[in-house]
Amino acid sequence: MKRAFVYLLICIISVSLTGCGEIYMDKHEINEIDLIRAVGLDNIGDNNIRMILPLLETQSTGGRGSSESSSPGQSRIVKEDGRTIFEAEVKVHSYLMKDLSWHHVQFVIIGEEAAKEDIVKYFDFITRDHEPRLSMLPLIAENDSAENIIDQINTSNTVIAKKLKTITDGTGARSVSSKLELHDLIKMLDNKYASSYIPSIRLVKRIERQGEDKDKKDVELNGYAIIKGRRLIGYINDDTARGLNFIKNKAEDGVIILKDKNGNQISMEMLGAHTDIIPKIKDNKLEVDIKVEAGFAIAEYEGYKDIFDKKTLDEIVKAENKIVKQNIDSVVNYAKKNKADFMGIGDSVYHKYPVEWDDYYKKNWEDNFANIKINIDVKSKVSRTFNLREVTRGKENKK
């Protein structure tokens, strides 16, 4: 018995020392794959899809102490058409010398025409296949195709995935957009009583370039694409998008411009905000209170008057409250006009009044939502004034 056990142990050790090549038949060395960091999907008509793949080649380089290592090479773009995304991918596999790896996809860009057709159609393969991660960030090409955005941004020296990572990591600076992972979008799309929102990107001319790249544009995040059912119905940008971020507790930072009595501008930096959505039934009528608490700092003042007295600070707070309320009013009006509850109002009603929701409100939620009374209450405060308690030349101005 003891000999049999020893023999079995030797066999197990022998198999484990033979390497992983025989056990993991689907393994690939890094220099045998094309890494996908971003993918674009467009509707090109005639029930066909175009898949755009900016690929980052891996190059083999010698390394001391090892026979071979790999490093990123130049970026190139591969495009393929198909009746489905899977068919397009199979076509690409048929002529690429390397295998495609979807494991590291960070972004999926959906062209506007595709989003207008059926947004769910373009996510089925990505969510069904085992390689793509549900933590990738979906983006909608505002008034554009995914192909054009990738062509404009991705060059042999510029990888679009790095550009997109830079702008998505910086969404808090203006609070007019945010990161939205694919699994969170799926939850919204699965809720038949709610609409959805997806961050949108667009091409802009920000940097003056010379030579061959003088006509190249940059890409920026500026708000959200609104999805009702399975289709794109429009966009919200700037202050309206910031209003949604206030409601969804995604307003992290940003700048609000106020004016004093003399018309001098005051730049206020937002230091964060918290919002509660509180449904209530009053006289058998459903109402919703949106309560916001926000903090601001005085970042810049172009006037000469000392504004750091209680009366002036109270006026600043009042002006802050008004602007934040206008931002939220703007997105509420857009949502009610389009009967598209992408703010999560229905979800709040369901959790507070589950019986009433099932018995009455959910049956015709679009109309109920459009007619619901929404009260907005904003309370802000000036938390700090940075290093200066008195404006430059303030003492001179007092004379």
**Tens-place pLDDT, residues 364-387:** 999 999 999 999 999 999 987 655
217/187: higher pLDDT: 187
- What pTM value is reported for the model? 0.85
pLDDT tens track for 204-221? 987 777 776 677 788 999
For residue 292 the two structure tokens come to 């916001």
- 274 and 230 share a domain? no
Is residue 14 domain-resident? no
Residue 268, domain extent? 243-399
**For the domain that residue 375 is a member of, what is the CATH number?**
3.30.300.210
Lowest-confidence range among 69-83, 282-296, 327-341? 69-83
Polymer length in residues for the chain: 399
Mean pLDDT confidence for 244-252: 95
**One domain, residues 222 and 339:** no
Which pLDDT does position 35 carry in this prediction?
75
Alpha carbon distance 106, 129 (integer Å): 15
CB proximity list for 277: less than 8 A, separation 6 or greater: 247, 288, 289, 290, 343, 344, 345, 348
- Among residues 215, 236, 257, the one where a domain terminates is 236
263 occurs within a structural domain: yes
- Model pLDDT, residue 17: 56
Look at residues 236, 269, 299 and tell me which one is the last residue of a structural domain.
236
Run of H or E including 288: strand 285-301
Q: Clarify whether residues 64 and 142 are in a common domain.
A: yes
Lowest model confidence (mean pLDDT) among 44-48, 102-106, 148-152: 102-106
- Residue 1 placed within a domain: no
CB 229 within 8 A of CB 339: no
Mean pLDDT, rounded, of the chain: 85
* Spatial separation of the C-alpha atoms in residues 107 and 185, rounded to whole Å: 13
Which amino acid is it at 306?
Answer: D
Write down which residue in 236, 264, 286 finishes a domain. 236
- pLDDT at residue 391 above 70? no
Q: What percent of the chain has pLDDT over 70?
A: 82
Q: Could you give the number of structural domains in the chain? A: 2
The token pair at 394 is: 């303030």
